[in-house]
């Protein structure tokens, strides 16, 4: 599970059991962003769920539990993100949720690397998961200059 504690994904495919690798598309960031993401140290458990391996194996993805909470670091800026977009700030991290009416995918924005987190409905409220992952993100991924998202 070398990748399970670094970062995990958004477009998840269903898996049958907790021991099966979670299908998480690996992002393809530039070299500088990849270096930032590889420094991210995530907890072994999130929301009480143990880490799982991801497929394809990537230092930029991680997952926990079943259904999987997944994270990917170094994703592109969300296409729907606009300066006027509604963001949720949790412990100093600005999150952009999609879809807006029932967010299941959140992207940490205003950071030098975008970090996506998929939170299945089972783990409601999703803010609890974002609180647990926000600390490592804020400690590793520097903020962009004021006013940039």
CA distance 127 to 121: 11
Q: Which of 9-13, 64-68, 88-92, 122-126 has the lowest mean pLDDT?
A: 9-13
Residue 2 pLDDT > 80, yes or no?
no
pLDDT at 19: 63
- pTM here is 0.85
pLDDT at 17: 46
90-119 average pLDDT score: 92
CA distance 129 to 28: 24
Place of tokens 């495919």: 13
Sequence-ordered list of residues with C-beta below 8 angstroms from that of 58, at least 6 positions apart, any chain: 3, 7, 24, 26
9-54: per-residue pLDDT in tens? 333 334 344 468 999 999 999 999 999 999 999 999 999 999 999 9
pLDDT at 102: 72
pLDDT at 146: 87
Mean pLDDT of the chain: 88
């Amino acid at each position: 599970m070398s990748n399970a504690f670094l970062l995990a994904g958004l477009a998840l495919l269903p898996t049958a059991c907790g021991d099966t690798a979670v299908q998480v598309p690996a992002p393809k960031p530039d070299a500088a962003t990849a270096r930032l993401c590889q420094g991210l140290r995530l907890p072994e458990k999130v929301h009480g769920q143990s880490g799982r391996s991801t497929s394809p194996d990537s230092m930029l993805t991680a997952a926990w539990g079943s259904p999987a909470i997944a994270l990917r670091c170094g994703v592109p800026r969300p296409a729907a993100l606009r300066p006027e977009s509604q963001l949720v700030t949790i412990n100093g991290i600005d999150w952009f949720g999609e879809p807006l009416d029932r967010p299941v995918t959140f992207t940490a924005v205003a950071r030098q690397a975008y970090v996506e987190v998929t939170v299945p409905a089972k783990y409601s409220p999703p803010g609890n998961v974002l609180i647990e992952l926000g600390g490592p993100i804020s400690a590793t991924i520097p903020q962009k200059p004021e006013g940039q998202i």
